[in-house]
Structure 1
Amino acid sequence: MTETPSQPPSHLSVRRSTVDGVRVVALRGELDHAARVDLGDVLHPPGEEAPRTVADLSGVTFMDSSGINILIAAHRAAVQSEGWLRIVGAQPSVLRVLELVGLDLVIPCFPTLAQALES
C-alpha cells in the first residue's frame, strides 16, 4: 500500500540573509502557484519601514504567472513602504518570462548580487 501525502511537497526553498543592511532572499526551485504559501511575507515582511530586498532568482528553474504576481505584489508593497525590490541572477528562461511581461522594466534586474547592491 502506498500513501500519498495530502499536500504535494514544496518545490521551492528559501534562504534569507542580510548583506550591507539589505535583505537577500535566495529562491531555489519553482516559482509557481504552490510557492505563494512558501513565500508568504518573505519578500516583504509587513510593517517594515523602507525595506530593501534583493530577490536572488539564480536557483529558480521555472516561473509562471503566479511567480510574476508574487514579485509584483512584493514590489508594490516595498514601494508603498518607500523601499525597493531588485532581482538578481535570473536564469535565461526566467529572465525571458520577466522580459515578456515587461517586469524587468518595473523591477530592476541585475546579473550579480554585487551589481544589485551597488545601484
Structure 2
Amino acid sequence: MAEGRVTDTGQAEQVGGLSVVATSTDGIRVLSLAGEIDHHTGDQLRRALDVTGAVRPRIVIDMCQVTFMDSTGINILIAAYRAVTEAGGRLRLAGPTDSILRVLQIVGVDDIIECHPNIEQPRGT
C-alpha cells in the first residue's frame, strides 16, 4: 500500500504450513498469509478472522503467498465473509496466485467475495 498509516499488530503466528501476519492500515486489518490453508491450519486462520464484538470490520486477506487451499479454506472464507458482512463490515481478497484463484473461481467464491489482483488495488473498504 503506497499511502496510509501502517500499524504492525505484532501478530505473526505459524502453525504447520501457514503463516499469518496481521497489520492495520488506515483502519483496515490486513492479514498476510503464506503457506497452505487446509484441515491442519484452518483453526489458525479462523482465529485471525474472528470479528466477535467488532463494529464494521474491514479486512483484506493478502493471499499472494498461499500455495495450497482445500475446501477447509473455502469454508473459512465464506464463514468469515458472512460474519464480517453481518457486522456491517467488508472482507476482500487480494493477490491470489493463479492456482488459488482457479480454486476460488471453480467454487464461485470470487462471485461472493471481491477478489483483487494485488494488495495495491482499490478495495472499496
Deviation sequence 1:64-112 (CA, Å, 0-9, x none) = 1001001001100001101011000000000000000000000000012
Other structure's SS at 2:48 match: coil
Q: How does 1:56-95 map to 2 (within 5 A)?
A: 56-95=62-101
Over 3 Å counting, the alpha-carbon distance change for 1:64 and 1:116 in structure 2 is farther
Q: Which of 42, 48, 59 is the aligned partner of 1:53?
A: 59
Runs (4 or more) in structure 1 with deviation over 6 Å come to: none
Pairs aligned (count): 111
Which residue of the partner structure matches residue 104 of structure 2? 98
Quote the Cα distance in structure 2 between the aligned partners of 1:85 and 1:44.
12
Quote the Cα distance in structure 2 between the aligned partners of 1:116 and 1:69.
25
> Which of these two proteins has the greater Rg computed from alpha carbons?
1
State the shift of 1:37 in Å. Answer: 2.0
Q: Which of 108, 113, 116 is the aligned partner of 2:119?
A: 113
Give the percent of matched residue pairs that are identical in Structure 1 and Structure 2: 46
**TM-score, normalised relative to structure 1:** 0.87
Listed as ranges, the gaps of 5+ residues in structure 1 are 1-8
RMSD across aligned positions (CA): 1.4
State the shift of 1:116 in Å. Answer: 4.0
**TM-score, normalised relative to structure 2:** 0.83
Amino acid aligned to 1:115: Q
State the shift of 1:39 in Å. Answer: 1.8
Other structure's SS at 2:121 match: helix
Quote the Cα distance in structure 1 between the aligned partners of 2:66 and 2:38.
10
- Choose between structure 1 and 2: higher strand proportion: 2
